[in-house]
A and B are shown apart, each in its own frame.
Chain A
Amino acid sequence: MKSTGQTRWGLAIAGWAVALGMFFPILWMFLTSFKTEITAVATPPAVFFHPTLENYFAVLERADYLAFARNSVAVSLGSTLLALALAIPAAYSMAFFPTRRTRDILLWMISTKMLPAVGVLVPIYLLWRDFGLLDTLFGLILIDSLSVLPIVVWMLFSYFREVPAVILEASRMDGATQAEELFHVLLPLCTPGIAATALLSIILCWNEAFWSLNLATVKAATLTAFTASFSSPEGLFWAKLSAASTLSIAPILIFGWISQRQMVRGLSFGAVK
């Protein structure tokens, strides 16, 4: 049953009102990034103004912005690769050679996500200090990859399980080794699923705030820490804050939009496909 013309328009108005309302803060930030510092704080707020790119130049010229951005890229890619390297064999083994304990292992894996980060802040801080991992990229990569690992395993597991075991058995009959079976048969078949998993992991690591703010404050600090530094009096520079924020969220927002339908299964631990 298609809705009639009138209700359709009513729905459209309501839908767009909600969408624009939710998106407004991001839009407002985006607009502010093209204002001068003076128009940014103007009352009444300036809606029409002469756009300028000076804030973007100012942010990019601050050499440290690029250092923070590089750290963010290194941490989110590094953690994702490490998590995938650990998770792909594990998910493969559980999806195609399930044992009586597979179910318990999967559940135990998410249960590690239930451990609130604050509960282990103190020991992790001290361990990282003693091993010289505080404020290093590797230290942050290690902790981020461990915290996304359960989600990555679950998501890959649910994609792998959709591959009919017959296909793998056929390759086995042809004499393929387990490594060949994994790399030449399964992974090519699951490329879209692996890509969606990688994107979700990149997004989570990019936006991760708790460990970044507590364990990496100077040399390995990411964009999360960089933007947090604007909470001090520097935050009065709204236009520059907006430009820096826009640069920091744009790539991730686009990744999120691309992979939104696929990432549902990772985020809901398979409850919604």
Chain B
Amino acid sequence: MKIAITSTGNSLGSNLDQRFGRCSYFVIYDTETGGTEFLPNPNKDALEGAGPSSVQLVASRNVQKIISGEFGIKIKSLLDTLKIQMIALKDADKKIEEIIEMLNN
């Protein structure tokens, strides 16, 4: 199963990005292989529609769960239709490696 995590940087030591649509990087974590992939977000500085196009990018990777700080109103209904689980974590100091460790426990 693939899980997307929003990240502020492109290393495992980066923090969880609190925004979904305009986060800096998406981390695609594969629970079966344990591999991670960092995708730079092309919608980082988009004026509008960053959320839906980010959903499109993440959904094209067949992600089943998304971990982020919060989800906008446009995204919630979209992800509900796509049956992708949203996990909102309000802890901005959480590092990507810590989240992956939590998922593996």
Whether chain B is bound by chain A comes out as no
Interface residues of B (CB under 8 A from A): none
